Amino acid sequence: MEAVNRPNLAYVPALDGIRAVAILFVFLYHMGNLRGGWVGVDIFFTLSGYLITLILLNEYEARGSISIGQFFFRRVCRLLPAVVLLICVALAISFYSDDHFDDVKMDAIASLFYVEDFRRAFWPLNVTGLAPLWSLSVEEKFYLIWPFFLILSLSFLGRKRSLYAVLSLIGLVITWRLAVLFESTAPYYRIYFLFDTRIDELLIGSALALWGYRPGKITLGPISRLWPLVVIFFTVVLVAVDPVANWVGVSGYPLIGAVTACLIIIVTSKETTFLSRVLTLAPLVALGRISYGFYLWHYLVIRQLSLGGFLHIRVIAFAITLVVAILSYHFIEQPILRFGRRALSADARPMESAALNSPATQ
């Protein structure tokens, strides 16, 4: 095969910085300290769509094809082991403490089959420590469908027209969400949790990759100085916006996705800004690298503590979650990823290095 210039998928610390900020938003939201912290999940969605599409495009442009089997194997190695451990711990705690064990069992089954979004949307009964896994269910459905769509689209339309197709899909999702929103019997959690009304943020990230943006490849010039607008936008959402606000269901998700895409471009372009320097601070980058485990465990830890409004309890919750996430990263996630690398065929390993070093975003 003729040599192909591959898109650069080298490690980008600023992206881990974004992950860290997003997981802090979610943590503070579940602690009751940040009204709009739910936006952290939306940031994860857009970033995940961007990175997954970038990885698949890298493989397609290098080989002229995408290995569906290897892609699914990568996702299983990256996501499932830590989830299984979390579920086992949650079931054990619930069983021995007699704390809504039937609900935890239902969430466990739904999470293992990645239908927790349906569980949250249609049977929002007692909330358990596994409730945040609904976002993984949304992402897994995207991972299941997206490679097939991308292969067909790139084969028959090419990358430029594939971008137009994705933009059209985003428009369809928005239209469908409006139809569901204005149906009088549809509660807000039907829109907030379910795959069909939340996929547009993942698609916005994918559109950014199809547009051709690669970290460190472009110079923004004066545009890079617009980063304060991104900060102001997220600040307003964090302090003032409840997820049930009408504008969120109408235009909020694509707007948040678009601003997140702008954030990705600004902090990974050739220019260095104050925001990019903040997001590459060592503590944030380190937290971003373990953000998957932190996201999985934080809510279960929070539910085990009697918060009582005291700061020291919140600090303890953060510390426990941090320790568990570090242990998960070093003793569960990374060993399984190394096993995945060895299990794949030798000719897949160069591509796999980039894919497996790109943490999944929830």
Would you state the pLDDT for residue 350?
40
Q: Are 320 and 42 in contact (CB under 8 A)?
A: no
Q: Residue 355: what pLDDT?
A: 37
Torsion angle of the four alpha carbons 11, 204, 185, 108, in this order, in degrees rounded to the nearest 10: -20
Pick from 18, 38, 17, 15: nearest CA to 28: 38
SS3 200: helix
Rounded to 5°, angle at Cα 318 from 141 and 12: 55
Integer CA distances (angstroms), 310 to 34, 125, 161, in order: 15, 28, 54
How far is residue 215 from each of residues 31, 151, 210, 220, 268, measured CA to CA in Å? Answer: 34, 23, 13, 12, 5
Extract the tokens encoding 325: 């996430």
The alpha carbons of the chain give a radius of gyration, in whole angstroms, of: 20
- Tens digit of each residue's pLDDT (9 = 90 or more) over 321-344: 999 999 999 999 999 998 888 887
> CA nearest 195: which of 112, 137, 270?
137
pLDDT at 163: 96
**Is this prediction's pTM over 0.75?**
yes
Predicted local confidence at residue 9, as pLDDT: 63
Long-range contacts at 67-72 (CB < 8 A, ≥ 24 apart) = 67/348, 68/147, 68/148, 68/151, 70/344, 70/348, 70/352, 71/143, 71/147, 71/355, 72/143
Report which of 257, 338, 358, 283 is spatially closest to residue 12, judged by C-alpha positions.
358
Taking only the tens of pLDDT, the chain with its 362 residues reads 333 333 446 789 999 999 999 999 999 999 988 889 999 999 999 999 999 999 999 999 888 889 999 999 999 999 999 999 999 999 999 998 877 899 999 999 999 999 999 999 888 777 899 999 999 999 999 999 999 999 999 999 999 999 999 999 999 999 999 888 887 666 778 889 999 999 999 999 999 999 988 888 777 877 788 899 999 999 999 988 777 666 676 778 999 999 999 999 999 988 889 999 999 999 999 999 999 999 999 999 998 886 545 667 888 999 999 999 999 999 999 999 988 888 875 444 444 433 333 433 33
